Amino acid sequence: MDQLKTILKNLPENPRVVVSGNYAMPKALMATFDSQVPNFILHMLNAQVEIPRREGISYESAFIGPGMRNLPNVTYIPCRLSLLPVLIKSHLKPDVVLLHTSLPRFDTVSLGTEVNILPAAIEAVRANGGIVIAQANAHMPYTYGDAQIYEHEIDFLIESDEELTEHHASELTSIGRAIGEQIARLIKDNSTLQLGIGSIPDATLELLKFRNGMRIWTETFSDGVLNLEEASALDEGIPITASFAFGSKRLYEWMHLNRRIRMFRTEKTNDPSQISRQARMTSINGTMQVDLYDQANASRIRGQIYSGIGGSTDFITGALHSTGGQSFMALPSWHTKSNSSTIVPLIDGAVTSFQHSHVVTENGIARCFGMSEREQAANLIHYAAHPDARENLTSAAKKMGLLG
């Protein structure tokens, strides 16, 4: 540890450090780094609340998590997840990369639950003359694919015994189940699934446990995929492909040394051309607002960044180019806190995505892809919008020239 502290004292002024994100932050290593480096730029995807927060640290992310949300000194980088590795190699070159890995196995360690942008960051920092430091943890599962990195790619490795942070699904609501039921009815056997994390994907996966030959090509997965595997709903001949995962301890134990699971870098999992090659690619994503042009806002609240573009646009595009593919955008029809409709006449801020196959609420399914803009607006009002919002939406649509 003394040697590590000496290395950290010789870093350039205000270095940019890329750290394993989501639920895979190496806590002990991050704490040591924070104690030894007075000023730095912390680049992390979906940072959780355990990140260090103090003067001297500035924050940077293409997907804002709860740990960085609403901080005054956070810089949001608008970028599709598939293209973020390009930025890391060209515009956001790191000086340090901090990894959370498995224990060594032969001459490799594994990035385990969080591959994502890390291979690109390792390549960029080595090309930039920086350093790679790993926290090797007995609790981190050893996973295959691009998760495997050689020990010679790491400049300094410390071992720790640190329980992984678990993520447990929130309780399923009646609205979430209703939306999941709407979506599940349109998904056929032998489809390939991309699902985010949340009550609606969880409900959908639960309802797909009795299907056959399902496949997974996604950026992230959680316990719902394990439940499909245990229900024999997945195609045993096709690997489960993802870039990161978080969930229960049971999920992490299942992932360990499991050759059914391939964890790849985000440039592969989120490449629309790769996604489009998957059989009946079915993309299911959530959003906060949809307007009558089928534009979705999944990233901002009252103009302020809440999360980010993420990978949804990569999968929407890939799914629509897949033979038999489809893209679902799911949301409750009514926002209870603001007492307002989530289907709005026109989004007045930044748009995250557009042109989905279907917009789904607890009320029904609005077909959008292939429809004229008038048919699209009418479907959104009549099938997806909350009954209390339909009159106002109809009036707005007429003023917008979308309804006669």
Sign of CA dihedral 179, 181, 187, 191: positive
Chain centroid to CA 186: how far?
A: 23
Phi–psi pair at 287, nearest 5 degrees? -150, 175
CA distance linking residue 209 with residue 343, whole number of Å: 31
Cα separations (Å) of 340 from 231, 333, 337, 384, 393? 39, 9, 8, 14, 12
Q: Is 348 exposed, middle or buried (0-12, 13-18, 19+ CB in 10 A)?
A: exposed
Chain centroid to CA 175: how far?
A: 22
Residues in Cβ contact with 372 at an 8 Å cutoff, skipping those fewer than 6 apart: none
Set 13, 151, 159, 219: catalytic member: 219
For residue 387, the 8-state DSSP code is G
Q: Which of helix, strand or coil describes residue 244?
A: strand
Of 26, 42, 60, the closest CA to residue 305 belongs to 60
- The answer to whether 219 is a known catalytic residue is yes
For the annotated catalytic residues, the residue numbers are 219
